[in-house]
Structure 1
Amino acid sequence: MAQPFKHPQSGVYYFRRRVPDDLRPALGREYKRSLKTRDASEAKGRHAAEWIKSEEAFALAHAQLSGAEVLSAKDVQQLAARWFHRELAELEQSGKFHRALVPGDAVELETPFGIERHQEWLSIREALEAGDETEWLAVVRPHMLRALRAENIPAPAKGSPVFDSLVGTFRDHLLKLSDIAKLRDEGDWTTKADVLEREPIRSEKQRVEQVQSKSVLEVFEAYRAAKLLDDGDNRSTRKTIDEFRSSIRRFVEIYGDTPVKAVSRYIVQDYRSKLAGFPVKVQGAGKMTAPELIELAKTAALPTLSAVTIRNRLRVLGAVLGYAVRMDWIKENPVDASGVAKAAGNAARGKADRRRKDYTKAELHKIFSSPLFTAEGWRPPRKDYGQTLYWLPLLMYYTGARREELCQLAAKDVQEVDGFAFLAILSLDEEDAGRTVKTESSRRRVPLHDDLVSLGFLTYTRSVPQKGQLFPQLKPSPAGFYGANVGKAWAKYLREVVQLQSSASPSHGFRHTFKTLSRQVGIPEDVHDAMTGHNDGSVSRDYGSMPLSRMSEELKRLPSLPGLPGAVVSS
């Protein structure tokens, strides 16, 4: 996928795109535009906008090839007039009017102070009348081509009637520019040239009409394409896009696929109130529309969406409308401008702050003294996950790693260097066999706690095929995630077998627990951040690396699990 190109010397980002062979006579070999920024994140947003412009330029070039009239006679006059106004503004600002004039005779005059030489300056029109033989059509062609490029319009084929008309019209406007420059040089700042004032040309009118009619779903599709360009076509991006599509579809079911400019602040506020009445889970919800689900929740008194989910769905709408703002399709983002998303976020934070996200010591004891971790063991009745359900919770507790990071591990990722055993979580620079990590800081080495070694984790690791997965029974879901199904099985085990009642997330709660315990026992923040793959955003964190020996030593402070019998489970 195309990405912004960073110039190695200037550091400025550029948009670069190969031009199809048939369009090269009009656009050249490469469509290249400066993004006018050295900031990578800002460049991504501008890159997406420039991609849209390149598509428009390619479409115009295709239209020209097919014989369509891209530029009318009035458009030709308008383009030359725009060039005239830009050039005149620059001359008037600099005061260097001689740049648009032709040197005439030099006259020497005798003065009390000696001989003074005076240079006569002629307008181009005066020079032509005096016999000037300069080929002004050739002089004006580069100006014309740059003017077309500035307006993102492909140059017509040389020798075509439109091309000849453009050259002739630009020549006429060059003569008018020179005439005005002569007057300004002589002190006349009141005379104005007889050229058109700015107004839209045909392609711009068509673009405006398209923008004005662009619907919410059309904006979403453009957002989707830009996100794939910016973030890469990987399973994580595709998952996010699918979640966004589902949320936007529900919005459209309520308000219709309305033009994006019609999504007002009032509609956003109304959408929040509608979300507050949306049911959490309903069997067969995929076959029901949003209004039907809201009515069902009301009549059947079903549980409705949490404040956090409402906030997240508003953020989805805000992200898509924010893209429309960046593309200049709408002037404001009504989600941000209305303050609805911020208010929903405050409500969500207020409730989230009161909900415990990590496991208590009593909850950990109940989990790890349950049948799965005793000598009698436990297996799910319908699915054989091998030893995954035993080792996965232990690894999540002792490493603080994300469930998916552990489920996608290969057997070769359990490594040992200088006597220190560790997990290599995509520590290479490349993605491996479709596996991904959330952020670049997530690529890391995580030491193994002594308890894991004592429980037989290394023995288990050596028992599985070394060229395969660490947990061979796990297969990727259609979206490519190894931990999706086993995560559901673990949540069901906690709910039905352990009968655990906890506000902590079944899997992610261990990650919060790891951070809480690390702070309690005094593991330095930069050390436990390195183990969990967090980055505080400071520049200093990008320098150097955290030694494995240091992490291993600090990890010894993490308390052993309460309630775990300590039995070594064989494979």
Structure 2
Amino acid sequence: MALSMARPSRDKKTGVWYLRQRPPADIKAKVLGGSVTIPIGDGFRVIKVGETVEASLGTKDANVAKERHAQADATLRKLWEAHRHGPQRLTQKQVQALAGKLYFLLAETMGDDPGRPETWLNVIITNAKAKAGRFGRAQLRFGTESEIKAAAIEERFGGWVDILLSKENLVVDSETRTRLLNAVAFSFDAAALRLAKNADGDYSPDAAASRFPAWEAPLAVPDKTPSLPKDKITAWDLFERWEKANQEMKSEGTIKRYRASWRSLSAFTKDKDVRALTGDDIHEWAVDRRDRESVSPKSINQNDLVAASSVFKWAMGRERRLVTDNPAAGLSLDEPRVTSKREKTFREKEWKAILTAASNVVIRDDNSGLDHACRWTPWLAAYSGARIRELCFLDAEDIRMEEGTWVMDLRQTKTGKARTVPLHEHLVEQGFIEFAQSKRKGPLFYNPKRHKKGASTPPDEIRAQEVADWVRGLGVLPTTVAPTHGWRGTFKTRAIGADMDVRIRDAIAGHSARSVARDYEQPPVGMLAEALKRFPRYET
């Protein structure tokens, strides 16, 4: 699928095309809740800035929509850049010159056929009412006389000021806006007076035209933030920078998941600069993952888009500033509603079959460790709720005695938080301690000498998948039930029946605390061991 630039989106019900754009993350706090004035066709629209800026393009014609979208999108991007630099102060000459643009716009475009003189005299009268505070909603508000006048002037002339600023891609300070409102009010009167004369047949030279100086745009405000790199940065370039910077901070599993997602994004965007990517581009990639690569929307939302957003957010950091926007922020695909056909835990006949098969595994003398993994990891998971991969990472040195209790140290976990878990007495009776001590040192369930150096998949992950395949091969589980992850729910469900406190259950299984306060409650090994004594045995 070809990569496209930002493009309009079509309302499925009405067929009308829309502009939708997210404000950049680095200025979101500045612009959220405010408004922007953007060109739509021959006019201008005032749009409120929320999580997205959304405006109807006023057409069902795709070609017209594309043209209007390009104009509005370009204006928005220039306005975002102006907000990055911050509000500017215009000189008196610049204020008068900008107000003069309105004068010439009205006087020159309507002078050939201005209508009746009374029309323009009424405009002057209405302007005078606004300047006196007797216009629109302002005259109904409470406040001082000066506050009411200011509100009326803003209501009458503010829209014209917004258009003038939008056309010049300017963001000005409050003092400049006040002066500009008064200047626009004057130029509006001057234009209306000239048009009234034109309507009466008077086209003599207009002295008012000469009072407005030529417009000279203010010099760009120097950007004090670090400049963006000049060289092109592809998606893969960006990921490699992130990976190098996060080797010591992110787990191997996280880096591997992110690498897979970014490899797909890189293949989709090819050699395009990441700073040119938009939310539409990222959404197209997600759709491509779903439709062409057959990845589920749930997996894309939880893995791919999280990986993309996380790396972009890192790249936006002030000390790096590789990009100015996070095009993946807030994106997600619609997920089809899935009705669960059954619980995620193992039923009694299922866990009995798995544990019986594990007990009957024949240990071959091939020194691979797979037979030992199939023999012991299901039982270890059944009595701890640990993930099979966490168990496959165990070394012989991780099985030790603490406070008179045999424990296992789970050093590599999904959450990155190591934990120590007591071993149930049933495991000791089955001979697990003797097996671990026979290994003396090194991995219990795989042979590191058989693992290729530099392989992208670590040996414990490979072994965990092989155990899952072995369980699936027993033919005792429906396809909707995970062959190894089901032990987590099974352990915690049986723990409820043993009246085990939720904090104990979470500590053993490695589930995160649900609150900051709970995070301070770390049950010691002795407390965990005492609770585990009440945990019922699996009788096969």
Report the counterpart of residue 436 of structure 2 in structure 1. Answer: 461
One-letter code aligned to 2:394: L
Secondary structure, counterpart of 1:276 in structure 2: helix
Sequence identity, in percent?
Answer: 26
Within-5 A mapping of 1:168-317: 199-200=221-222, 207-208=227-228, 210=230, 213-228=232-247, 231=249, 236-237=251-252, 239-279=253-293, 304-311=294-301, 312-317=303-308
Secondary structure, counterpart of 2:420 in structure 1: strand
Instruction: Find out whether 1:420 has 2:397 as its counterpart.
Output: no
For 1:224-262, what per-residue CA distance to the aligned partner results, in whole angstroms no more than 9, with x for missing partners?
233236x06xxx33x433432332232232232212232
Report the counterpart of residue 335 of structure 1 in structure 2. Answer: 328
Q: TM-score, normalised by structure 2?
A: 0.51
Instruction: Find out whether 1:554 has 2:540 as its counterpart.
Output: no
Instruction: Find out whether 1:530 has 2:507 as its counterpart.
Output: yes
One-letter code aligned to 1:369: T
Report the counterpart of residue 482 of structure 2 in structure 1. Answer: 505
Report the counterpart of residue 394 of structure 1 in structure 2. Answer: 379
Tell me, in whole angstroms, the C-alpha distance in 1 between the residues paired with 2:367 and 2:469. 12
- The number of residues matched between the two structures is 319
Instruction: Find out whether 1:494 has 2:468 as its counterpart.
Output: no
Q: CA deviation at 1:449?
A: 1.2
Report the counterpart of residue 363 of structure 1 in structure 2. Answer: 350
Tell me, in whole angstroms, the C-alpha distance in 2 between the residues paired with 1:252 and 1:443. 34
Within-5 A mapping of 1:395-410: 395-410=380-395
Q: Closer, same or farther in 2 for the Cα pair 1:513/1:380, shift >3 Å?
A: farther
Secondary structure, counterpart of 1:401 in structure 2: coil
Report the counterpart of residue 359 of structure 2 in structure 1. Answer: 373
Gaps of 5+ in 2: 1-87, 89-217
Tell me, in whole angstroms, the C-alpha distance in 1 between the residues paired with 2:327 and 2:509. 37
One-letter code aligned to 2:440: Q
Tell me, in whole angstroms, the C-alpha distance in 1 between the residues paired with 2:315 and 2:339. 31
Q: Closer, same or farther in 2 for the Cα pair 1:494/1:467, shift >3 Å?
A: closer
Tell me, in whole angstroms, the C-alpha distance in 1 between the residues paired with 2:442 and 2:367. 24
Secondary structure, counterpart of 1:399 in structure 2: coil
Secondary structure, counterpart of 1:326 in structure 2: coil
Q: Closer, same or farther in 2 for the Cα pair 1:315/1:560, shift >3 Å?
A: same
Gaps of 5+ in 1: 1-84, 86-195, 280-303, 427-435, 564-571
Q: CA deviation at 1:384?
A: 5.6
Secondary structure, counterpart of 2:406 in structure 1: strand
The answer as to whether partners of 1:366 and 1:498 remain within 8 angstroms in 2 is no
Tell me, in whole angstroms, the C-alpha distance in 2 between the residues paired with 1:227 and 1:247. 16
Tell me, in whole angstroms, the C-alpha distance in 1 between the residues paired with 2:309 and 2:342. 26
Secondary structure, counterpart of 1:335 in structure 2: coil
Report the counterpart of residue 45 of structure 1 in structure 2. Answer: none
Tell me, in whole angstroms, the C-alpha distance in 1 between the residues paired with 2:461 and 2:314. 30
Q: Closer, same or farther in 2 for the Cα pair 1:308/1:354, shift >3 Å?
A: farther
For 1:54-102, what per-residue CA distance to the aligned partner results, in whole angstroms no more than 9, with x for missing partners?
xxxxxxxxxxxxxxxxxxxxxxxxxxxxxxx9xxxxxxxxxxxxxxxxx
One-letter code aligned to 2:427: L
The answer as to whether partners of 1:359 and 1:502 remain within 8 angstroms in 2 is no
For 1:351-401, what per-residue CA distance to the aligned partner results, in whole angstroms no more than 9, with x for missing partners?
49667433222321222233x423x74769995635332011101111122
Within-5 A mapping of 1:3-82: none
Q: CA deviation at 1:333?
A: 2.1
The answer as to whether partners of 1:223 and 1:320 remain within 8 angstroms in 2 is yes
The answer as to whether partners of 1:400 and 1:532 remain within 8 angstroms in 2 is yes
For 1:245-285, what per-residue CA distance to the aligned partner results, in whole angstroms no more than 9, with x for missing partners?
33223223223221223222222222222111234xxxxxx
Secondary structure, counterpart of 2:246 in structure 1: helix
Tell me, in whole angstroms, the C-alpha distance in 2 between the residues paired with 1:537 and 1:527. 13
One-letter code aligned to 2:356: S
- Pairwise CA RMSD of aligned residues? 3.7
The answer as to whether partners of 1:407 and 1:474 remain within 8 angstroms in 2 is no
Tell me, in whole angstroms, the C-alpha distance in 2 between the residues paired with 1:555 and 1:540. 24
Tell me, in whole angstroms, the C-alpha distance in 1 between the residues paired with 2:295 and 2:414. 26
The answer as to whether partners of 1:398 and 1:514 remain within 8 angstroms in 2 is yes
The structure 1 residue matched to 2:421, chosen from 428, 434, 446, is 446
Tell me, in whole angstroms, the C-alpha distance in 2 between the residues paired with 1:306 and 1:368. 32
Tell me, in whole angstroms, the C-alpha distance in 2 between the residues paired with 1:278 and 1:382. 41
Within-5 A mapping of 1:122-133: none
Q: TM-score, normalised by structure 1?
A: 0.49
Tell me, in whole angstroms, the C-alpha distance in 2 between the residues paired with 1:445 and 1:378. 28
The answer as to whether partners of 1:361 and 1:562 remain within 8 angstroms in 2 is no
Mean alpha-carbon deviation: is it higher for 411-420 or for 395-404? 411-420
Q: CA deviation at 1:466?
A: 2.5
For 1:541-564, what per-residue CA distance to the aligned partner results, in whole angstroms no more than 9, with x for missing partners?
45474232321222233332253x
The answer as to whether partners of 1:421 and 1:448 remain within 8 angstroms in 2 is yes
The answer as to whether partners of 1:529 and 1:535 remain within 8 angstroms in 2 is yes
The answer as to whether partners of 2:397 and 2:441 remain within 8 angstroms in 1 is yes
The answer as to whether partners of 1:248 and 1:317 remain within 8 angstroms in 2 is yes
